Every structure is written in structure tokens, then in C-alpha cells.
Amino acid sequence: MHMTTMAVVLREVSYKESDKILTLLTGQAGKLTVSARGCRRRGSQLAAPCQQLIYGEFTLYQFQGRWSVKEASAQRQFRGVREDIEKLALAAYFAEVTELLAPEELPAPELMSLLLNCLHALDVLDKPAAQVKAAFELKAMTLAGYEPLLDACAVCGRQPEQPRLHLSEGVLHCASCRDEVGEGISMPVSPAGLEAMRHIVYGNPKQLLSFRLEEAALGQLSDLTEAYLATQLERGFHTLDFYKQLKMPR
């Protein structure tokens, strides 16, 4: 069986002498594990497209239940991301989260567009990394079925003063309603940060990044979306740890 599809390379692992095993997010068939034979050989036509974060057209064939790459051509290389170690680290985190959230062999067009939009933003748009990160984390969680309830306080139903997000419950509440929400951590969010979260969760995905926040509010939002993702998914990410190491003041 053959299939030609657009795909993003989420992960690459070297295998044997000259092969790679790739995790692709394909437009047609969702997440697939494929082998790219000979792609590490000098002069291989597959060398350039079979790298992490490449977006391109892949012709795949299936033999005895395993997929392999027959042909591939890169359409976007995201050079601006590859040439900047911080951006590359953040993009690798996006890829790791996408790999975790993408369903096996089921198309996930919204998740794929989200990833591509965020890679594009890191590549060529002049947006703060914290903004792209927060938008990616919160939208990815929303698309994967972990949408937080942000319309009003989950306890009193009013627009919260001093709003907070309860990480494990995934609900908004007022500081004064804290005792009614249950145990676990809840984190503060600024009123402007809350507006940005509503924009990310409920807004048009094409305008995902069309919000503005002051640097401090943006940092707070990015910490919050990161903690929300890690709490809901009950895990950490090596790629995120690496990104944060790079960001630490030296």
C-alpha cells in the first residue's frame, strides 16, 4: 500500500548504520512510525527531508504492517528555528507534546495546523517566545480534550476578581472562592492574562497569536499554561527542561 501525504517529522532516531526511525504527524493518517532506509547515507535524497521539524511531502509504503519512506521532499525547513538554539529547544518541546497528544493513525488536522502555525511564528514572526509557548500549550490541551473552563468562577458563577486557575480541576475561580474548589494547586492569572487564555481557547485558531500582553503578564501566563499541561498530563518533558536551562540567566 502506498500513500502520499504532507507530514511533519516529530522525532528522529538513528537506526542501524544508515537508517532512521521517524515519528511523523501526517495529514492523512495522523501519527505514524516509519523507517527511512539509507537516509543517513551520503547523497541520499531522503537526508534533507527526514529530519526533525521538517514539513514536507512524504510518499510512504506499507509492507508487512510497517511503513517506510519511499520519497520525500521538504517544503518548510524552519531555518530561523534551526539556527537559534532557544527556538530549536522550544520547537522540540512542541514536537514532543504533539507526539504525546496526537492519536495513532487518526488524522488530527487541528493539532497539525497548531504545530505548524507555532513553528512558523518562531521561524519568521516577531512574537515573544513566551507568547508562542503559552498559546501552543493551552491550545494543544484544548484540542486534546483538556479544555479548561474559563467563562466564569466555577464556584460562584461570577466574573472572578483576582482570578485563579485550579490546575487539576481545570477551572477558573475567585481568590475568595478558593476553599470551595478542593485540594491541589491553583495559580493566579492577571485579568489581561485571562482574556488572552479565552482568546486562545475559544477564539479563531487562525488568529491564535493576535493578542498582546506585557512581559510580566506573559511570563505569568506561560508559567500557568506550562503547569496546567504538566498537571493534566501528569508528566514532565525533557525537552522543556532543556529549554528552561537555556533560558536561565548565566
Residue 68: its H or E element: strand 66-76
* Minimum CB distance to Zn ion smaller for 116 or for 155: 155
The count of residues interacting with Zn ion (CB under 5 A) is: 5
Which of 116, 149, 155, 230 lies at the binding interface for Zn ion (CB under 5 A)? 155
* Minimum CB distance to Zn ion smaller for 149 or for 230: 149
Residue 194 is a binding residue for Zn ion (CB under 5 A): no
Residue 155, classed as helix, strand or coil, is coil
- The span from the CA of 108 to the CA of 147, in Å, is 16
Residue 156 is a binding residue for Zn ion (CB under 5 A): yes
Cα–Cα distances in angstroms (integers) from residue 249 to residues 25, 83, 207, in the given order: 34, 20, 32
* Minimum CB distance to Zn ion smaller for 141 or for 174: 174
Which of 111, 115, 132, 153 lies at the binding interface for Zn ion (CB under 5 A)? 153
Q: Which stretch binds Zn ion (CB under 5 A): 24-32, 132-140, 145-153, 201-209?
A: 145-153
- One-character DSSP codes across 92-143: HHHHHHHHHHSPBTS--HHHHHHHHHHHHHHHHS---HHHHHHHHHHHHHHH
Q: Name residues contacting Zn ion, limited to 159-178 (CB under 5 A).
A: 174, 177
Residues making contact with Zn ion (CB under 5 A): 153, 155-156, 174, 177
